[in-house]
Each structure stands twice: as C-alpha cells, then as structure tokens.
Amino acid sequence: MAMLPLEGTRILALTQLGAGPYAMTVLGDLGAEIIKIEDPTLGGDEARNVPPYAADGDSPYFQSLNRNARSLTLNLRTAEGKDLFHRLVRVADAVYANARGDLPAKLGLDYASLQAVNPRIVCCSLSGFGKTGPRAADPGYDFLMQALAGFMSMSGDPGAPPTRCGVSIVDFSGGLMSAVGLLIGLMRARTTGVGCDVDVSLLDTAISMLNYLAVWSLNRGHRLERLADGAHQTLVPSQTFPTQDGYLVVMCMKEKFWQRFAERLGLAHLIDEPRFRTFQDRLTHRQELIPMLKEVMRTRTTAAWVELLRGTVPCAPVYTVADALTDDHVLARAMVVTVEHAQFGPLREVGCPIKMAGVQPRYEAASRLGADTAPLLRALLGLGDEDIARLHQLGAI
C-alpha cells in the first residue's frame, strides 16, 4: 500500500467526547499517528461510556470518533507522569487538546510550557470559547454554540421554538478548523524549526460560519428570522416542498434554475411575470409565488419529481439517516466502511471525506483504554519492563 500523506506525523492527543476526536480521526485516516492520552484515574475518555450500546469501557460512539487512535494512559498530576509526558513531547510533532480554554496553560500543554522540551512542537487547543476573553474558563459544547451564534434563531418554523441542527455541526466544523490550524502550524514548524500555539474555539468557528448573514446584519441591519419550510433567507425558490408522499428540497440558486423549475412544473408563464422575473422580484413577492409552486409539487411523489428534475434543477429528497447511508452515490464514494473490532465485530462506520488520488485511508478500531501504554513506552522511549512496572506502582500510568 502507498504511503499515506500524513505518515510520520505523531500527535499526542488529549481529547474527549466529540470535537477533538473528530479532528484526530480525519488526520488519523490519512496516516497521522494519533496517541490518545487518557487519564487512568477517570476511566479515560467519557465517550467510552456514552449510550446506547456502551459495554465494558467501550462504545460505538467512542469508536466512531476515535478511529485509528492508540490509547496511552497517563496521570499528569503525578511528577512521574508529567516527566513521562515531556519525554513523549520530545519525540512528537504536536500536542492537541480540547479542554476548556484556560486549561492548556494550567496543565502545561501550551507552547510556553513545552518549547524548552521541544522547540518544534505545535500545541493546538480546541475549546468552547478560546484562550482569551471573558468566557475562556467556561465549558463549551455544540448545543450552546448553536444558541450563542444565532443558528437556532434561524432554524425551525416561524411559529415553533428556536431549533438546533440535529447533527453536532459546530463540534465537527470546529474539529475540522482545528485540524487545518494544526497542519498549518506543522508546515511552519518544519520550515522554521519553531513551533507555536494554535488557538481555535467552537464559538469563533460558529461565528465565522455566519459569513454573508453576518455581513448583511452588520452593514445593513438585515433582520434574519425563521422562515417556513426551511427557506433560504433571500433566494426564492430555495426551500423544502411537500410532495404527494414526502418532501423535496429545491435550490434555485441561479436564475436558469428558476426558469427550468418553472418549465418542469408547467408554470413557464411565470418566468416573464414581472412579479417573479428576478431574484429581487421573487423575494418581494415570495408570499404570492410559493403557494402556487406548492400546489403543483403536491401532485407527484418525491421519486417522480426527482426523476423529472435531477440534473436540471438542484434538488434532493429529504432522507432519513438510514436512507442517506444506503444512497447509491454515498456508497460509490466509499463513505460507508467496515472496521474490524474485537468486541463489536465488523463495525460499519462513515468513511474519510477527503479523497486523494492513489491514497487509501487507514481504518482501524480505536484501542481499549491503555492497551498501547506499554508497547508505546517501549517503542518510543526505550523503557523496559521494570521501568513500566515502577510507573504503574507510582500511579503515573
């Protein structure tokens, strides 16, 4: 098998739950060596016990987010554990942590604490609120960020309460942003020989995702609100339409798509109608246009509309998760893979979203708690059996 692009990159990952482990999974799929450092006094990452289906210190939830990770137990609150960590830093490229923003400095996981140990080390922190600012010491989670960043104020129907996205979109976006930041830091360190701190927060990531909505609000005082049918704020028609037996999302993001949509609905006469001629016209007269389109959309099944519109007008049926995971395109893109697991057997998971010519991602189960402690200490630091036994007795590992 060809060498993976991140092979030879070693990351000490002090990660928990979702966002940080997701970042490490993507990098691990593409060859990075992920050494997950877990506190043995706490039973390791809490994700190991997240229901449903958790059993004996492992769970499908944990496996889905820690693929390829090797587990090394280490108690950083002991002098021996801290010394051992520093020895590992000397042979690593990066330290990655997703704790509260105030903790990396307190725990000695930042560049100021580690540069004397390894001047090239890149210290990446992913936290809820970042290392600075009035909320730096607050715990932060995806649900909170969806609320604070205004996502929920725009999600759901107008008459319903604010609604969060069903997927942990900020966790995963923050994880990807931190992975990008870490790789940028590694590139610079390999060029200059000097490492650095990388500070990424979930809230910063969520605010950055407001993008054009923020520009409208900041510069024109544009009022953003919940719209019926999950409609786009300004581009009409771009929303969910009820069909005879389900729902179809149609996105007329270009004028040509609107024209094609109208033609296929048998409403070609609306194309040159002054009320609907341009994006601005349709936005102004949204309440007049949408009921006409809905009336026609209800006359056929979702499958019939997909057959008529696909490839001509951007559209998609509203799938269940089970539907999405059996879609022919998803399967053709190798986005459902099988990972062999000693306890759970063949475990089907989602694949790596980054495709590269000649690269076959690595898919291996995450290790049981502490399973790699002794092998890694032997291989990376040259410790013998007596050394490892002594560290066990001292509570360092």
Q: Residue 238: in which H helix or E strand, if any?
A: strand 238-242
321 contacts: CB under 8 Å, gap ≥ 6: none
Q: How many residues does the chain have?
A: 397
- Residue 95 in contact with residue 108, Cβ under 8 Å? no
The residues annotated with a catalytic role in the active site are: 171
CA 263 to chain centre: 39
How is 54-123 classified by DSSP, letter by letter? -BTTB-HHHHHH-TTPEEEE--TTSHHHHHHHHHHHHT-SEEEE-S-TTHHHHHT-SHHHHTTT-TT-EE
Q: How far apart are CA 297 and CA 282, in angstroms?
A: 18
Of 12, 135, 17, nearest to 74 (Cα)?
Answer: 12
- Residue 338 in contact with residue 346, Cβ under 8 Å? yes
Find where tokens 């990952």 sit. Answer: 13
Give 126's strand partners: 200
How is 294-347 classified by DSSP, letter by letter? HHHHTTS-HHHHHHHHTTTS-EEE---HHHHTT-HHHHHTT-EEEEEETTTEEE
Evaluate the omega torsion of the peptide bond into residue 237 and state whether it is cis, within 30 degrees of 0: yes
- Residue 227 in contact with residue 160, Cβ under 8 Å? no
